[in-house]
Structure 1
Amino acid sequence: MDYPGFLQRLHEGISEPSGSGRHKQIITFDKPHQYRECLSYLRKLKPELAGLRQVQSARLIRALIAPFPAGDRLGKYHNGVTVEEDTRMKIHAETAHIPKAERNLPMPWGVKQVRAYKAWPSSTGNRIRIGVIDTGADFQHPDLRHSLGRGINLLNRTMLPYDDNGHGTHIAGTIAASNYDGGMVGVAPRALIHPVKAFDYNGAAYVSDIILGIDWCVLNRVDIINMSFGMKSRSKALLDMVNKAYHNGIVIVASSGNEGKRRSIDYPARYSQTISVGATDKYRRIAPFSNRGQFVDVYAPGEKIISSWIHGRYHEMSGTSMATSHVTGSIALLLSLRPELGPAEIKALLKRTATPLRLRKSNGRSSISTKLGEVDAFRLMQEGTK
């Protein structure tokens, strides 16, 4: 392969006026030696070809990520590489507002419902590291002072992953808030969250930023990755990166989506390497907005969840995003005591220890499901430590 020619074409495409539209493209190399050689030339040519300074690398899946004119697929240079058009995805949360009973704390109803407090005498998630790929986190929030570790801002690597949306802070609070004096407490209050800011203030991100976020989580040896977002289309590059994390022993928890679908869920939750999560209400019924069906592994509280918010505040949100954070915190409680457990073992334990759901019938009555369950943090820890 003509690597200098390939990189020259990449530089020219990046440097072209963007009147026709510009999208990032994910360029994956089929063979390790091709990727290594191309990286070597990339380092040499960057000083003289300014466009190449915008190229990012995802080493775990042998990929380069570059902004490129829409519709240009790098022509003859396809031999030995796979080029995938980058796509956008959104966070999985519905309306957000400041509730009237804003201080219905310190323990929100979801944390009570999963029985996390019963596990705390044995485990609070101590030293479990969680990568939350989201909108960032509010580092000044009093409930998160002891819960946030080093992270990364993929939108501006010179800045800390500060949250300018609120969604990431909300997720962080449910997982690991630890303000026992006047604030709120999350499912695993001694776990450590590493905020990975991939989403902008509108709650939108590119697949390529998710890939780079997972790459960072693997290289920084987190134990769990929380992914409260999704999209309708599948991405081979994202699947490859999820696979890398899975085979590195990282538990990946992903939300199913909020369209109320009965037979389909969003990606990446639909990948079998993840633990896919649907949302329930206070009565252990599937929330009307939650995607459901055979691809959902477990359900968790996701309707009218109060948690931390930017500027030191609290908001109420609904969505499978909120459900996912309850499952992530529950897994952290178990992993703190059994760090050797792998992703497949944890998924099986979650299903086995879940509390049966109530299903709505057409006549208005409800029945108990024998197949669908809501996460039970206490029972998960009990069974997982036998």
Structure 2
Amino acid sequence: VRIAILDSGIELSQDQKDMYDANPRFEYRSWVGEDAEWKDDVGHGTHLAVLLRKISPNAVIHVARVFKKKPHIEKSAQNIAEAIRYAVDEWKVDIIVMSFGFGSKNEVVYDAIKYAAFNDVLMFAAASNDGKNRPDGVAWPAIESHVICIHSGDGYGNQSSFTPSPKENMRIMVLGECVRSAWPPNLNLVGDNKDMSGTSCAAPIAAGVAAVILDYAR
């Protein structure tokens, strides 16, 4: 099973690479510069990519760096769209993970999402972390019919306070609170791991479970 995760990249210490970048190895490509070396300025992508590795250890994980620090619908749209199409055509992925959300629809990204759906690629996206404060509820692209929207819950199965109210056909919830995973060594954290919460953490967990089921079915 091949999975693409579109985020801020990945950056690991040598000890982390020895632990997580075994066979199958991570694949990496950046859409925000010429850097061939692994890079992650904020840690978000690293945390989620390694989390995905933990859930689905036999999957080939393709890391697409589509933004440096925080995704912006106008600035990041072309990168996201190109990465989706590349993941479908070149990486031949089965699953795409998008742990980000926007307040409005973008046609360039939407066309790429439709292209991936036409090619039978499963797509998972974070619902949003705005709880009931978001007037439109679920963020885009998680609200799209071609995308599987993932909500967050705690370790007891309760809905997280920051996850939006579920809409019809958008009722998948997995763990998204206090999730521990790897953190880039360049960000001066004591230790190699960090706990994070959010629907962005829940999305790769759900995608990883889907990958395990798909791998078993094959």
TM-score under structure 2 length normalisation? 0.86
CA distance in 2, matches of 1:158, 1:173: 20
User: What is the Cα deviation at residue 334 of structure 1?
Assistant: 1.0
Q: Are 1:300 and 2:174 matched, yes or no?
A: yes
| Number of the residue aligned with 1:117 | none
| Number of the residue aligned with 1:282 | 155
| Number of the residue aligned with 2:30 | 153
1:275 and 1:297 in contact (8 A); partners too: no
95, 98, 121: which one aligns with 1:224: 95
326, 332, 336: which one aligns with 2:205: 326
2:3 and 2:97 in contact (8 A); partners too: yes
1:161 and 1:195 in contact (8 A); partners too: no
1:256 and 1:292 in contact (8 A); partners too: no
| Number of the residue aligned with 2:188 | none
User: What is the Cα deviation at residue 238 of structure 1?
Assistant: 1.4
2:71 and 2:100 in contact (8 A); partners too: no
Cα deviation 1:11-38 (Å, max 9, x = unaligned): xxxxxxxxxxxxxxxxxxxxxxxxxxxx
| Number of the residue aligned with 1:212 | 82
CA distance in 2, matches of 1:297, 1:243: 22
Write the mapping of 1:1-386 to structure 2, written as runs, cut at 5 A: 128-139=1-12, 140=14, 141-142=16-17, 143-146=19-22, 148-176=25-53, 186-200=54-68, 202-205=69-72, 206-220=76-90, 221-261=92-132, 264-294=137-167, 296-311=170-185, 313-339=192-218
Compute the RMSD of aligned alpha carbons. Answer: 1.7
2:128 and 2:164 in contact (8 A); partners too: yes
Tell me, what secondary structure is at the counterpart of 1:156?
A: coil
Figure out how many residues of one structure are paired with residues of the other and give that number: 202
CA distance in 2, matches of 1:196, 1:173: 13
CA distance in 2, matches of 1:175, 1:158: 23
Aligned residue identity for 2:84: I
1:256 and 1:291 in contact (8 A); partners too: yes
Aligned residue identity for 2:82: L
CA distance in 2, matches of 1:199, 1:158: 13
User: What is the Cα deviation at residue 207 of structure 1?
Assistant: 1.3
TM-score under structure 1 length normalisation? 0.50
CA distance in 2, matches of 1:155, 1:264: 30
User: What is the Cα deviation at residue 158 of structure 1?
Assistant: 4.3
User: What is the Cα deviation at residue 138 of structure 1?
Assistant: 2.1
Larger displacement relative to structure 2 (161-170 or 246-255):
161-170
1:161 and 1:196 in contact (8 A); partners too: no
Change (3 A) 1:289 1:195: same
CA distance in 2, matches of 1:148, 1:232: 34
User: What is the Cα deviation at residue 164 of structure 1?
Assistant: 2.0
Cα deviation 1:228-253 (Å, max 9, x = unaligned): 00101011221111010011111101
CA distance in 2, matches of 1:148, 1:319: 26
User: What is the Cα deviation at residue 204 of structure 1?
Assistant: 2.8
Q: Which has the larger radius of gyration?
A: 1
Cα deviation 1:50-95 (Å, max 9, x = unaligned): xxxxxxxxxxxxxxxxxxxxxxxxxxxxxxxxxxxxxxxxxxxxxx
1:148 and 1:195 in contact (8 A); partners too: no
1:161 and 1:197 in contact (8 A); partners too: no
CA distance in 2, matches of 1:208, 1:223: 21
Q: Structure 1 residue runs of 4+, over 4 Å off? A: none
Structure 1: runs of 5+ lacking an equivalent: 1-127, 177-185, 340-386
Cα deviation 1:115-144 (Å, max 9, x = unaligned): xxxxxxxxxxxxx11101001112542432
Aligned residue identity for 1:325: P
